[in-house]
């Protein structure tokens, strides 16, 4: 067994070798038998991919939080900065259909798994959620979980069995993401739930989502779009976020730090199975995020689904939150529109410049802004009442509506000038 190599498998089939070089960097090489690329940034080829390309993709499978990586590292006796070792420890159930294995680990090539898990009692689930900051990803020595989720927030990957939260077992891929409300930002779970419901009502594709409460903790259960469940069998579907697809490091997910721009994102969609539809959907999402006040729509919050080599599509949208409802968070957008990061400085000429950059019709963009504005104003109060009827009467919803109404009024006034 080689300690400096991992067998990288796609849908359980070996696709290549991830190697840790003597300098501690990662290098990936496809097997000669590989038939499907793991990333649009890493097409099939004989030559190894250098550490920069390898880190952009494989590092992007790991949690972004340094605190979470330190806890994982401490548990496994490895450095929090050693991404190869972290993947070796927790890289079995990653986003998409990628899994990391010891070189000599048996190959099963299993395409589907029975939906199996240990259903948690209400008390167990509460204790697990409370312990998330100390035990990220619901890591438990008894269950020996080996799963990884990208992102910076506290979250866990679980299964939903008979509408009950369960810890996956016997190699079953997880089916849902559990996200508790943030301790630092009040009402974060209700915020995301409300915003995703609005997004769905205006026609955006979003994952199925539930808002639940245990004692004093509110949490989200988000169905994974990179899993398919049929007849109590779970299948993985390969996916990658835009940073991975563009070969950019997760640490540079914001445009002003060298991360993706909207032009990069729209150009990426020129090569999907249905470019026009995907580009229109991304335009719809960016207008929604702008009007909503979501300043955190960065490169890792958009992804591609790889149904096959020739069938790559934009995924449903996720992590749609009104960040402007929290005064301590930035007022600058993660990606600029035209030449502006600050919505307060954004005028029609900047939208026109933006449309030129992404090769999108300006008239169509103006109609999209008008359509979303009218619909969001119309449905937001109804959605608020639904949330209240479900037992979630929280101040953050009023703040979201206030931010949204201000953004919409300012935008429409400027287009009418």
| Structural domain ending residue among the three candidates 229, 250, 279 | 229
The encoded tokens of residue 122 equal: 């209400």
| 50 contacts 76 by C-beta, under 8 angstroms | no
| Structural domain ending residue among the three candidates 102, 122, 150 | 102
Q: Which of 299, 371, 316 is nearest to 200 (CA)?
A: 316
Indicate if the pLDDT at residue 308 is higher than 70: yes
| Structural domain ending residue among the three candidates 81, 102, 123 | 102
Whether residues 131 and 260 share a domain: the answer is no
296 as an active site residue: the answer is yes
pLDDT tens-digit map of 198-237: 999 999 999 999 999 999 999 999 999 999 999 999 999 9
Surface-to-core class of residue 240, CB atoms within 10 Å of its CB (0-12 exposed, 13-18 middle, 19+ buried):
buried
Whether residues 144 and 30 share a domain: the answer is no
- The dihedrals phi and psi of 203, each to the nearest 5 degrees, come to 105, 5
Q: Residue 92's pLDDT is what?
A: 86
In percent, how much of the chain has pLDDT > 90? 80
Whether residues 155 and 181 share a domain: the answer is yes
Looking at residue 136, the DSSP 8-state letter turns out to be: G
Read off the pLDDT band of 141 (50, 70, 90).
very low
Q: Residue 151's pLDDT is what?
A: 53
**Whole-angstrom Cα distance, residue 5 to residue 102?**
7
Indicate if the pLDDT at residue 160 is higher than 80: yes
Indicate if the pLDDT at residue 276 is higher than 90: yes
Whether residues 51 and 197 share a domain: the answer is no
Cα maximum dimension of the chain? 69
Q: Residue 170's pLDDT is what?
A: 84
Domain that holds residue 282: 237-416
Whether residues 199 and 320 share a domain: the answer is no
Read off the pLDDT band of 133 (50, 70, 90).
confident
**Whole-angstrom Cα distance, residue 394 to residue 387?**
9
Q: Structure pTM? A: 0.93
Read off the pLDDT band of 300 (50, 70, 90).
very high
Mean pLDDT of 87-95: 89
Mean pLDDT of 236-258: 95
Q: Residue 144's pLDDT is what?
A: 47
Contacts of 30 (CB under 8 A, 6+ apart): 15, 16, 37, 44, 45, 46
Give the chain's domain count. Answer: 3
Determine, yes or no, domain membership for 142.
yes
Question: What is the residue-averaged pLDDT of the chain?
Answer: 92
Mean pLDDT of 325-342: 95
Q: Residue 250's pLDDT is what?
A: 93
Q: Residue 106's pLDDT is what?
A: 84
Whether residues 94 and 169 share a domain: the answer is no
Determine, yes or no, domain membership for 107.
no
Query: Which of the following is catalytic: 93, 241, 296, 319?
Result: 296
Residues forming beta bridges with residue 239, ordered by sequence position: 305
Indicate if the pLDDT at residue 326 is higher than 50: yes
Whether residues 301 and 349 share a domain: the answer is yes
* pLDDT-wise least confident of 53-67, 138-152, 220-234, 389-403: 138-152
Q: Residue 146's pLDDT is what?
A: 56
């Amino acid at each position: 067994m080689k300690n400096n190599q991992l067998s990288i498998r796609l849908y359980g089939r070996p696709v290549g070798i991830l190697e840790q070089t003597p300098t501690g960097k990662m290098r990936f090489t496809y097997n000669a038998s590989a038939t499907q690329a793991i990333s649009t940034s890493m097409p099939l080829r004989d030559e190894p991919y250098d550490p920069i390309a390898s880190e952009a993709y494989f590092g992007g499978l790991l949690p972004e939080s340094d605190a979470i990586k330190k806890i994982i590292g401490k548990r496994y006796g490895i450095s929090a900065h050693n991404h190869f070792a972290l993947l070796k420890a927790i890289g079995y159930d990653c986003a998409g259909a990628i899994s990391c294995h010891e070189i000599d680990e048996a190959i099963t090539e299993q395409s589907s798994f029975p939906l199996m898990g240990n259903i948690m009692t209400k008390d167990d689930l509460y204790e697990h959620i409370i312990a998330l900051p100390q035990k990220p990803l619901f890591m438990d020595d008894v269950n020996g979980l080996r799963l990884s989720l990208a992102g910076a927030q506290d979250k866990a990957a679980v299964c939903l069995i008979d509408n009950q939260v369960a810890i996956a077992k016997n190699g079953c891929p997880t089916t849902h993401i559990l996200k508790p409300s943030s301790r630092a930002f009040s009402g974060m779970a209700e915020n995301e739930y409300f915003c995703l419901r609005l997004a769905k009502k205006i026609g955006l594709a979003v994952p199925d989502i539930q808002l639940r409460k245990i004692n004093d903790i509110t949490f989200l259960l988000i169905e994974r779009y990179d899993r398919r469940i049929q007849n109590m069998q779970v299948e993985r579907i390969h996916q990658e976020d835009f940073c991975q697809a563009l070969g950019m490091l997760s640490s540079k997910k914001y445009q002003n730090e060298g991360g993706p721009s909207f032009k990069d994102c729209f150009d990426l969609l020129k090569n999907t199975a249905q470019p026009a539809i995907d580009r229109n959907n991304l335009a719809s999402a960016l207008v929604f995020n702008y009007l909503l006040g979501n300043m955190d729509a960065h490169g890792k919050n958009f992804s591609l689904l790889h149904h096959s080599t020739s069938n790559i599509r934009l995924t449903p949208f996720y992590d749609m939150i009104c960040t402007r409802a929290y005064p301590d968070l930035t007022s600058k957008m993660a990606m600029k529109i035209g030449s502006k990061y600050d919505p307060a400085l954004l005028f029609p000429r900047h939208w026109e410049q933006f449309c030129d950059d992404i090769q999108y019709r300006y008239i169509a963009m103006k109609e999209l802004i008008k359509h979303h504005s009218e619909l969001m104003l119309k449905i937001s109060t109804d959605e608020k009442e639904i949330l209240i009827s479900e037992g979630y009467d929280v101040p953050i919803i009023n703040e979201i509506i206030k931010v949204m109404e201000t953004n919409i009024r300012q935008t429409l006034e400027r287009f009418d000038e």
